[in-house]
Each structure stands twice: as structure tokens, then as C-alpha cells.
Amino acid sequence: MVKEFKIPDATIERVALYLRPLEGLMERNIRVVSSEKLADMCNVNPAQVRKDLSFFGEFGVRGVGYEVNDLLREIKRILASDREWRLGIVGLDDMGMALVQHKDFQQRGYRFIAAFDSDSRKIGKSLPNGLVIQPLSMIKQAAKELRIEIGVITTDAVEAQRVADLFFEAGIMAVLNFSPVHLRKPECCLVENVDFTLNLDHLAYELNRIG
Amino acid sequence: MVKEFKIPDATIERVALYLRPLEGLMERNIRVVSSEKLADMCNVNPAQVRKDLSFFGEFGVRGVGYEVNDLLREIKRILASDREWRLGIVGLDDMGMALVQHKDFQQRGYRFIAAFDSDSRKIGKSLPNGLVIQPLSMIKQAAKELRIEIGVITTDAVEAQRVADLFFEAGIMAVLNFSPVHLRKPECCLVENVDFTLNLDHLAYELNRIG
């Protein structure tokens, strides 16, 4: 496929944010949306929406808005979310269980195809989606056979680096990390951290200001 | 307390990101950190670190670095994370259970003091932290008696707006929303959305570029 020029990370993050409202509009058969409306749905300003979308080509009709269907298709194509991605997860406590059952993941094409845990009591058990929990020693083989593309880590901080290293050694280039630790990684690999306490910190800061 | 001037949101978000590495340094008795080292630990650039921290007063000693202890204390004060915050949660499926047991929340002073669910089979059951799950009809009374400050929503999309409205009516000004829906809110209230699929979108985009 033709490689796109590099779009700024902040733009990519905001554009991903536009997907869900656009899907909502599609479901309600609304065909055109203004930058003002879309901005309002995403809590950003309209000028920002127009600037972000300008990276993706000419969709807007001045004074009218954007064709929802076209815009959605193009955003999905650019974000590569128009295809299925194959996920492996390590750590099947509550957080892991919540993730493998998360409807959004499936709807967006993120499919868990392998599950691992270091707890021997969990190994061999079946998840609601039919996956059987495997030991960590199976990561390398499973990664190859099942072509796992993204590794998800929900272990505690102590175990997370070891799991990340196993993923990287198995040729998995991207990791979504829910554990509260900064992961070392090879230059070529990608790590995204999820940390809910940052969201709480933000709320606390704002509450403190207005309080 | 003296009100701080308004610091940009992006700065606040990044500064919150610096907390965890600084706490890690404290635990290892490392007293001084350079902007380069801190930047590396947080995946931002050193100039950004220096600019962000300049909002918080004069901590840096040119050519030496920052006093970890002083910096940590001041960041916590500004973020208002040097105090305890009182959380109520609605939705005690896997995600809710993962959150109430999340060690990070407790360590950072975010304490769940009330739990609610609309599922009558869950009401009256005890959580590992000793909380008893209450019906949604109790939100208003509990919010007042227990002085809930932040509401956490882990319900499905259909129920989320109703729960948010209950929170707002009960005088809870801030909501952390894990449900996949854009919540309507009064002007004065705050909503932070957590959406893991955005992190996956970002990984997928980058994988697609390098792949």
C-alpha cells in the first residue's frame, strides 16, 4: 500500500477520538456533520477539527459540513482500523477479564486470540470467548503460530517487564501496558501506557481549582 | 489556600506523568534528577520537561538537576494529589471490580467509599474492600452523607447517561467515565473519558506505518 506522510501524533489521537461520534451519526442515518457539531461531540474546538481533518484530504464542503460516511471510511483507512488486529493478553485477573469481554474492542476489530497467565491455577481454564489460558512459556510459539500483533499486559509491576521482554523476543512489536511501570523496549517496538490515575489526577486538579 | 494561576491542561497532564517516575526515584533514594533523565523516563523531550516544571517555580539547579523530594512535594501540592479524594463507583462487573481493587488508586489517595449497581443480584454483596453494593436509588443520600467527590462509571453505554445525571443531581461535580458514550453534563461539572481503544488505534496506526 502507499505509505502516508507522517501525521502528528496529537492529530492521530484526536482523529481517533472523532471515530466514535461519527459511528454514532452513521447509526442514526445522519449523513452530513458540521465541524462545529463534531467539535462539540468531542470537546475540542471547531478550528482544531477542521485543521485535523485537512490532513486527510478534501472532505468538507464549506458552509455545509462533512460527509459522515466518506469521512469515517477515510479515517478508518488512515488509522488502519478498517482491518482486524490480533491481540495476545497476559494477566487474567479482573482487569484482563474485563478487557477480553470488552465489546468495544471487538467492534473496532481488536480480537483477542491468545491469553496467558503465570498463575498455574488459571492455566487450562477457558475464557467466555472460548480462549484457553496458557502458560507464559507458550508466548513465543503462540505468537508465531497465531500471528499475534499486539501484546496486552495487565500483570502487576513486578512481572510486567519480564512479560514485555517475552513479547518483544517473540517478535510482537506493539504493547498496550496497563501495569504501573515504565517498560524498557527495543528502539523498533511500540509501547502505549494506560494509566487511569492520570485521569483522576486531572479531575482532582480541576476540582481543587474550582472548589 | 491561594489559587494558582491557570496552568495549561497539556502541562498538567504531562506533569501528572512525571509523578510516578519521581516516586520510583524516591524509593531508590535518588535525590537529584536531571531533566534529561526525567524526560527519558517519561518519553518526552528534556526541553519540554524544563518548560513544564518552570510553571511550578524554581527547582532546577543548572547543570545539576532537580531535587526529587522538593519537586515531588510541589507537584503533588499543585495537582492536589497530596490529599485523599472520595470516590463512588457505579457498575461492579469485571471492570468495576478491577478498579476498586486497583492498588494504584489507593496509593495515590483515591479511595472508593461507595459502590452502586442496578443489578438486583449484586445489591447487598460485599466487595473485597468491605464496601456493600447499594442500589442506584441510594446515590443521592450516600453522596451527601459520605461526601463523594468523584463518580466513576463503568456501566454499559445505555445506562451511563442516567448514572451521570444521578451523580450530577447528587452534587458530585466530577465523573470518570469508562463507558463508550459521550456524556451530557452541566457546564460546571467535569467529565474525563477513559477509552482504551484509542490507545489501540494509536498502536495500530504506528504498526501499519512501519509494517
* Predicted confidence band of residue B5 (pLDDT cuts 50, 70, 90): low
Contacting residues of B for A148, CB less than 8 Å apart: none
Residues B59 and B93 in one domain: no
Nearest residue, CB atoms, A199 vs list B78, B194, B197:
B194
pLDDT in tens, B150-175: 999 999 988 999 999 999 999 999 99
What pTM does this model have?
0.83
Band of pLDDT at residue B2, cut at 50, 70 and 90: very low
Do B161 and B72 lie in a common domain?
Answer: no
Residues above pLDDT 90, as percent of chain B:
49
The verdict on A74 and A103 lying in the same domain is no
- A138 or B1, greater pLDDT: A138
- The CATH number covering residue A122 comes to 3.40.50.720
Residues A114, A14 within the same domain: no
- Looking at CA atoms only, how far is residue B137 from chain A in angstroms? 25
Q: Is residue B186 part of a domain?
A: yes
CA torsion sign, A118 to A119 to A124 to A125? Answer: negative
Q: Is B104 on the interface with A (CB under 8 A)?
A: yes
Q: Are residues A17 and A67 in the same domain?
A: yes
The total domain count for chain A is 2
pLDDT in tens, A89-144: 999 999 999 999 988 888 889 999 999 999 999 999 999 989 999 999 999 999 99
Q: Could you tell me if B55 and B137 lie in one domain?
A: no
Residues A95 and A145 in one domain: yes
In a domain, A38, yes or no: yes
Chain B nearest CA to A192, separation (Å): 6
A1, pLDDT greater than 50: no
Residue B68 in this model has a pLDDT that exceeds 70: yes
Q: Which residue has the higher pLDDT, A63 or A158?
A: A158
Predicted-complex ipTM score: 0.85
Q: Nearest residue on chain A to B178, judged by CA atoms? A: A196
pLDDT for B3 equals 44
Q: B49, B79, B109 — which closes off a domain?
A: B79
Q: pLDDT-derived band of residue B8, with 50, 70 and 90 as boundaries?
A: confident
For residue A29, what is the domain's CATH number? 1.10.10.10
d(CA A62, CA A40): 18
Based on DSSP, count helices (H) and strands (E) in chain B, helices before strands: 9, 9
**Last residue in a domain, options B62, B79, B96:** B79
Q: Do B102 and B39 fall within a single domain?
A: no
Q: Determine the distance from the C-alpha atom of residue A7 to the mean position of all C-alpha atoms in its chain, rounded to a whole number.
A: 17
Choose among B4, B150, B201: nearest Cβ to A200: B150
Structural domain boundaries enclosing B90: 85-197
CB-nearest to A104 from B97, B180, B203 is B180
Segments in chain B forming alpha helices (H): 9-27, 35-42, 46-54, 68-79, 94-100, 103-107, 139-146, 157-169, 196-210
- Average pLDDT over all residues of chain A: 89
- Residue A3: its chain B contacts at CB < 8 A? 209
User: Residue A192's closest CA among A150, A158, A159, A161?
Assistant: A150
pLDDT value for B195: 87
Same domain, A124 and A157: yes
Residues B102, B176: one domain? yes
